[in-house]
Amino acid sequence: MAPDPGLDYVVPWSPKKDDRMPPSAPPLRLASLVTALLLAAAPAWAQDGPPPLTPEETAAAEGRYQQYCALCHGPDRAGYANDHAPSLKSPQLFAAGFTYIIGEAIAYGRPGTPMGGYHQEVGGPLSRQDIMQLTMWLGEQAATAPIELPDGAVTGDVALGAKVYADSCASCHGAQGEGGTGTALGNATMLALTPDAFIRHTIENGRDGTPMLAFRSKLSPAQIDGVTAYIRSRSAGWTAPDPIRHAPPALDAYIINPDADAPRFALKDDLYVSAAELDRELKAKKRMVLLDTRVTSMWERAHIEGAVPGPYYASREEVMANLPKDGTWIVAYCECPRAAAESVVRKLREGGLKNTAVLWEGIQGWVSLGYPVVPGNAAPKVAGQP
């Protein structure tokens, strides 16, 4: 697993309000899919986003679509050719999901459903660049301007939402969110990589040309909030006890298994630990700290159990303040899939913490490979939070 070579061009613009990437990385090389996707998700991409695909890139992307996707999503992207695969042309999907959510769905799939992960890091045939081009191509075909949706949690009455779900959704999405005519709303990977606002937007607005109707005029805003919160509350498993949102560990409880031995990591390139290795050492209950280096709203959506928020935008002093300095292993991860975690580990190593590592596959690879995540508590106040 060599580090991703990245794309061979430099993005000519920088993210606008999006603060998910380290602000100090000028100009950002498209070294990761999500860097690309987040940047492309800048609202006015049609005016000043990434350059349109060249004719060669368009032909390559369309070829890959027909080769890998048309079987289920249909040669014309209308969906429903096989396995109830959703439409890849509805304006609502492209307004709310372009590019980030659509790109993540292609890269990491919805394990347990017919939608596999196509990224090489989870065993698929496509590189980051292939996936980015395919996502861009789908966006160009759909020609719908993306809208900006808030990142944070939708709060609502989960009990009310459970009733709405049973009455109005289960017939298509399955009593346990397992899917049917509709997609699998209980899918752990979908929930980990999909913000609440996207789910709410879909319920409110439906998807043109598909069986998913707009519930705007059928349900009250409180019912829509409730069913969104209910779906989120199922993200550690449909039968998980409720409520299941976790508060971040107290500052003096950052260490997982404080009385145990150190884990044994065979780091690649002196930096990366694989998901399989991290899972093995967590299951063996080894002593370590897990640092979730993403913006804290993403920690809320889903994180590896025991991980503490240590966002990349916190200063070295802020991140270091609560970390053990006694050689305890610290594993950082993000969803970029590595850039934010690498920037934090760089700070920690400069600060003298040598037993530090970055999760190679990022949390998307982690959840897509079937390792567990838990949702976090709303709005924890942590070091470095603006």
Distance CA 153, CA 375 (A): 11
In this complex, which beta carbon is closest to ligand HEC, that of residue 77 or of residue 280? 77
Distance CA 162, CA 229 (A): 9
Question: Hey, is 368 helix, strand or coil?
Answer: helix
Residue 160 in the binding site for ligand HEC (CB under 6 A) = no
Distance CA 373, CA 359 (A): 14
Touching ligand HEC, residues 226-245 (CB under 6 A): 227
Are 228 and 196 in contact by the 8 Å Cβ rule? The answer is yes
Question: Hey, is 58 helix, strand or coil?
Answer: helix
Kindly tell me which residue out of 94, 98, 100, 118 binds ligand HEC, with binding defined by CB under 6 A. 118
Choose the binding region for ligand HEC from 36-44, 50-58, 203-211, 278-286 (rule: CB under 6 A).
Answer: 203-211
In this complex, which beta carbon is closest to ligand HEC, that of residue 82 or of residue 315? 82
Distance CA 21, CA 25 (A): 8
Residue 106 in the binding site for ligand HEC (CB under 6 A) = yes
**Residue 313: DSSP 8-state:** T
Pairing verdict, β 272-273 and 356-359? parallel
Residue 137 in the binding site for ligand HEC (CB under 6 A) = no
Q: Rg (Cα) of the chain, in Å, rounded?
A: 20
Choose the binding region for ligand HEC from 38-46, 76-84, 308-316, 374-382 (rule: CB under 6 A).
Answer: 76-84
Amino acid identity at 128: R
Tell me the per-residue interface mask from 166 to 195 with ligand HEC, x by CB under 6 A, - otherwise: --xx-xxx-----x-xxxxx-x--x-----
In this complex, which beta carbon is closest to ligand HEC, that of residue 87 or of residue 274? 87
Residue 115 in the binding site for ligand HEC (CB under 6 A) = yes
Distance CA 300, CA 176 (A): 23
Question: Hey, is 154 helix, strand or coil?
Answer: coil
Kindly tell me which residue out of 41, 85, 197, 236 binds ligand HEC, with binding defined by CB under 6 A. 85
Tell me the per-residue interface mask from 3 to 42 with ligand HEC, x by CB under 6 A, - otherwise: ----------------------------------------
Residue 95 in the binding site for ligand HEC (CB under 6 A) = no
Residue 107 in the binding site for ligand HEC (CB under 6 A) = no
Kindly tell me which residue out of 82, 243, 264, 321 binds ligand HEC, with binding defined by CB under 6 A. 82
Q: In this structure, is the dihedral angle defined by the CA atoms of residues 238, 244, 248 and 250, taken in order, positive or negative? A: negative
Which burial class, exposed, middle or buried, applies to 310 when counting CB atoms under 10 A from its CB (0-12, 13-18, 19+)?
buried
Residues at the site binding ligand HEC, with contacts judged by CB under 6 A: 68-69, 71-73, 79, 82-88, 90, 93, 102, 105-106, 110, 113-115, 118, 134, 164, 168-169, 171-173, 179, 181-185, 187, 190, 199, 202-203, 207, 210-212, 215, 227
